Amino acid sequence: MNYQYWNEQFEKMPRRDLEAWQLEKLRETAGFALRTPFYKERLAGTGIGEPGDIKTLEDLKRIPFTTKEDLRRGFPYGFLSISRDEVIRLHASSGTTGAPTTIYFSREDLARWTGFVARCIYSTGCNKTDVFQNMITYGLFTGGLGFHAGGEAVGMLVIPSGPGNTTRQFRLMQDFGTTVVHATPSFLLHVEARMREEGINRDRIRLKRAFAGAEPYSEDTRRRIEELLRIDVYNSYGLSEMNGPGVAFECQAKNGLHIWEDGYIAEIINPDTLEPVKDGETGELVLTILCREATPILRYRTRDLSAFYTGPCPCGRTHRRLRRITGRTDDMLIINGVNVFPSQIEEAIMAIKEAGNNYLIVVEKEGVLDKLTVKTEVGPDIFMDDARPLNALRERIRKTIQASITVNPRVELHEPGSLPVSEGKALRVQDKRPKDL
Ligand code: DLL
């Protein structure tokens, strides 16, 4: 494979130079952090009163973790480290799980962020000959504008379609010869199902690639999208606290996501003991941003579960790789005492070809017990009025899920296109159990 580099010097930087760069950038970032009310207080007593107090990368461990709650408490300006006049953009989390959090960008911050996203896009083999349809939400969410700027930097023709309205999406694809799209994996599955329903001829669409992220998905889901749409799908990871997309991305080797270590310091810790885990072991990802002056965030507990892949990548990049994020420490369901991650259920469903592209997990209380129901759409070749194959499929799905999570679910089969679809991140879990029990 002929691997492409957007910034070869940095992407293939020897580890020793990369670490020297990180140390320099960590000092700079700590300098900005020490200007904020939050970190001034948080770093008091740690021995880090000025950037020069950080002598080696090991000194990072002296800095306490920062949490989502800290960011919320700092709303709106508690983490701003430069003059308001130097800030030219903000992005914010939706606040669906609590008070919003805000991230500010200076002009240089935006340029650096764009550079990282461009690097991701280019690493998949895209270039200025591509037509890029950005089917993800614009606005305060970072996915839209982040990829928009990255796509333009690469020189692609960017179509700012946003999500939704699949009929219009197909028209744009055909009119302009779209070669690459960006969406959540759940929206891509929806696009594929709609394409079939609308009788769109795949051969009239030039699509080759998709960037898919912003929510967890399994390897089976990636394979399903790749096979059904006949494209290459690249996993894209990021979070608004760390700019948005452009934090970690798969190269063409598609074996883990390179985390851009010239922009971020990544640690993986045991969420209970807060100690680092060994390479290859699963833990919570903790990130320190090194590429943003306006809102420095040190040792941020992402809640995302991942692991470091060891060993070199065939693409030649020296930046370590993360295993695909399987879920979050806070999305684990406890069902009758058993720990269940929604991603385990997704993996089980997507492994069955006859199961459809959309599903919903419902947890309820039945008496004193928890009851798990998995609602799954069926694939296009299954007839809903033919009871025997339907029962067999239901039983297969039930057994596959049970084998994975040990909890016995009730499985409901639904017609294709009948379960709710979200344009942004999919809402896969409805936990209807009373909160105070
Ligand atoms: O989702 C930024 C983004 C936009 C990433 C577009 C990729 C593409 P937030 O809304 O702050 O930012 O949500 C961040 O989404 O902590 C993960 O839990 C989850 N997440 C993001 N990407 C992935 C992925 C954007 N590839 C949160 N796999 C993160 C699994 C992901 N989970």
DSSP 198-232: TT--GGG----EEEEESS---HHHHHHHHHHHTSE
Q: Once rounded to an integer, what is the mean pLDDT over residues 252-271?
A: 97
Reported confidence tier of residue 309, pLDDT bands at 50, 70, 90: very high
Residue 415's SS3 state is coil
Q: Please state the atom number of ligand 1 nearest to the C-alpha of residue 303.
A: 16
The confidence score (pLDDT) of residue 100 equals 83
**Residue 305 in tokens:** 């579960």
Q: Once rounded to an integer, what is the mean pLDDT over residues 10-32?
A: 98
Rounded to an integer, what distance in angstroms lies between the CA atom of residue 5 and that of residue 122? 7
Name the percent of the chain lying above pLDDT 70.
Answer: 98
**Residue 239 in tokens:** 């979070």
The Å distance, Cα 10 to ligand 1 centre, comes to 24
The Å distance, Cα 215 to ligand 1 centre, comes to 5
Ligand 1: residue whose CA is nearest its atom 18: 304
The Å distance, Cα 86 to ligand 1 centre, comes to 27
Q: Once rounded to an integer, what is the mean pLDDT over residues 180-196?
A: 95
Reported confidence tier of residue 155, pLDDT bands at 50, 70, 90: very high
Rounded to an integer, what distance in angstroms lies between the CA atom of residue 252 and that of residue 313? 10
Ligand 1: residue whose CA is nearest its atom 29: 239
Ligand 1: residue whose CA is nearest its atom 25: 239
Global model pTM greater than 0.85: yes
Give the type of residue at 366.
E
Please give all residues whose beta carbon lies within 6 A of any atom in ligand 1, as ranges.
93, 136, 142-143, 213-216, 235-240, 244-245, 302, 304, 325, 328
Q: Please state the atom number of ligand 1 nearest to the C-alpha of residue 326.
A: 30
pLDDT tens sequence across 349-376: 999 999 999 999 999 999 999 999 999 9
Stronger pLDDT, 100 or 414, i.e. the higher one: 414
Ligand 1: residue whose CA is nearest its atom 4: 143
The Å distance, Cα 392 to ligand 1 centre, comes to 36
In 217-352, the DSSP E strands lie at: 232-239, 244-250, 257-259, 264-269, 283-289, 300-306, 308-309, 321-322, 327-328, 333-335, 338-340
pLDDT at 387 over 80: yes
pLDDT tens sequence across 119-134: 999 999 999 999 999 9
For 220-224, 358-362, 431-435, which range has the lowest pLDDT when averaged over its residues? 431-435
Ligand 1: residue whose CA is nearest its atom 13: 239
∠ CA(94), CA(307), CA(24), 5° rounding? Answer: 75
Phi, psi at 356, each rounded to 5°? -80, -170
The Å distance, Cα 328 to ligand 1 centre, comes to 11
pLDDT at 96 over 80: no
The Å distance, Cα 213 to ligand 1 centre, comes to 6
Pocket test for ligand 1, best of 141, 239, 425 (most atoms within 8 A of CB): 239
pLDDT at 270 over 90: yes
Q: Once rounded to an integer, what is the mean pLDDT over residues 149-163?
A: 98
pLDDT at 266 over 60: yes
The Å distance, Cα 429 to ligand 1 centre, comes to 17
Q: Please state the atom number of ligand 1 nearest to the C-alpha of residue 257.
A: 26
Q: Once rounded to an integer, what is the mean pLDDT over residues 387-398?
A: 95
In 262-318, the DSSP E strands lie at: 264-269, 283-289, 300-306, 308-309
Beta partners for residue 378, in sequence order: 355
pLDDT tens sequence across 276-291: 999 999 999 999 999 9
Reported confidence tier of residue 208, pLDDT bands at 50, 70, 90: very high
Name the percent of the chain lying above pLDDT 90.
Answer: 93
Reported confidence tier of residue 402, pLDDT bands at 50, 70, 90: very high
Q: In the predicted model, what is the mean pLDDT of the chain?
A: 95
Q: Please state the atom number of ligand 1 nearest to the C-alpha of residue 304.
A: 18
The Å distance, Cα 45 to ligand 1 centre, comes to 34
Ligand 1: residue whose CA is nearest its atom 31: 215
The confidence score (pLDDT) of residue 435 equals 81
Domains of the chain, CATH where assigned: 1-330 (3.40.50.12780), 333-431 (3.30.300.30)
The Å distance, Cα 395 to ligand 1 centre, comes to 33
